[in-house]
Amino acid sequence: MKVISYNLRKHRAATELTDLVARHGVDVLCLQEADTAAIPERIGGLVLADATHRNRLGLALYYRENTYRAVDVRALALKKSLHDIVLKPAEERLLGVRLHDIDSGRDIVVASFHAAPLTALNSLRRHQIRTALAELDAVGEGLPKLMVGDYNYPVFKERLGQHVRAQGYELNLSDSRTYTRYKFFRGHYDFATSVGFTIDRVRTLPQGLSDHLPILVTAEPEVSAASVAVAG
């Protein structure tokens, strides 16, 4: 399956989505900083599973409707930074969807995630990531899970990887940097965190109207006991 994650920079890059989906044959599209009141119900062959509703700029997740069926959707608020408390840009920072693969009969979980901005401490973002991964377990215990998005974590990624692995997940960075707006803050911001998936590649796509570059994750879900039980 092919999954694109894209921070639209206050919805500015929304006009690029149809072309991205068609060009890369995307199965799942995960968005951050989308104007959820203005997004379409469909983009190419993808249909909207759901979007956050309490954010000024929110999350959205689309899936290929001839391949998957949405079984469960969960939007969650995570521990707030001072930036969130004062400016209230994002109430919900996780959108998880359980998808049923129509052909194989197995289920997977895919999520769009947006961590607190750089004004917050890395410790807060680690708390948000840890909580998000735990909540995804509740969406589909034992199922393959893939969480992509803007982690806002340009430095000390090795330590983040250790924390993620302690929860049984793997952290995958793309092949080149994903944020270019400010000289001293350029680097990898957009990651893929997974369990029960074989990640073939995480590729940074060319820059468009956003200060973030979209990432394309090519992955294959492994057969788990839970997914086999669902199929049976």
User: What is the pTM assigned to this prediction?
Assistant: 0.91
The domain ranges of the chain are: 2-231
The mean pLDDT of the chain is 89
In angstroms, the CA 232 to CA 228 distance is: 6
pLDDT at position 143: 97
pLDDT at position 22: 97
Determine the average pLDDT of the residues in 118-146: 90
Q: Which of 43-47, 114-118, 195-199 has the lowest mean pLDDT?
A: 114-118
List strands edge to edge, sheet with 215-221. Answer: 42-43, 46-51, 58-64, 28-34, 2-7, 215-221, 197-204
| % of the chain at pLDDT higher than 70 | 89
pLDDT at position 121: 83
Determine the average pLDDT of the residues in 85-99: 76
- What's the pLDDT tens digit per position in 141-171? 999 999 999 998 877 778 889 999 999 999 9
In CATH, the number for domain 2-231 is 3.60.10.10
| CA 22 to centroid of chain Cα atoms | 19
pLDDT at position 56: 76
Determine the average pLDDT of the residues in 76-85: 64
In angstroms, the CA 61 to CA 85 distance is: 25
pLDDT at position 224: 62
Determine the average pLDDT of the residues in 191-209: 97
Determine the average pLDDT of the residues in 14-39: 97
204 CB-side CA count, 13 A: 21
